[in-house]
Amino acid sequence: MASAQTKGDWVLGNYKGSGYWFAGVIEKIEGDTITVRYDDNERETTSLGKVRPYDWMIGTKVECNFKNAGEWYKGTITSLAGEKVGIAYDDGDKETTKTGLCRSK
């Protein structure tokens, strides 16, 4: 559950109940409802219980859409700078991509 989150904070949202957590920014909070603009520019209004504080860091296990080609591969975050993220994939590939192309479990 989002604790003391405010407009502009980065969060991870369980987009459309997919079971995956995607990075985004809070656009609006009204009561127990929150609107998140995800880093891929999708928007969702959902309950506070479906977001959590942004906790991705170097070493976090994620899945990313390799080269934005539609396939998700497991990897580990090796660098973070705003929406740019460095990924070392489990198969040995490496890529610098955007947080909007990654998700976590």
| Separation between Cα atoms, residue 87 and residue 96, nearest integer Å | 6
Count: domains in the chain: 2
> Which CATH number does the domain housing residue 46 bear?
2.30.30.140
Summarize pLDDT for 10-50 with one digit per residue, the tens.
999 999 999 999 999 999 999 999 999 999 999 999 998 89
Which letter, b or e, does each residue of 48-71 get, where b requires 16 or more Cβ atoms within 10 Å of its Cβ? Answer: bebbbebebeeeeebbbbbeeeee
Residue 77 has pLDDT above 50, yes or no: yes
Contact present, 87 and 78 (Cβ < 8 Å): yes
Q: Which domain holds residue 70?
A: 61-103
Span of 5-9, 83-87, 90-94 with lowest mean pLDDT: 5-9
Q: What is the mean pLDDT of the chain?
A: 94
Q: Looking at the domain assignment, is residue 77 inside a domain? A: yes
Confidence of residue 3 (pLDDT cuts 50, 70, 90): low
Mean pLDDT of 36-65: 95
Domain's final residue, options 18, 34, 53? 53
> Which CATH number does the domain housing residue 78 bear?
2.30.30
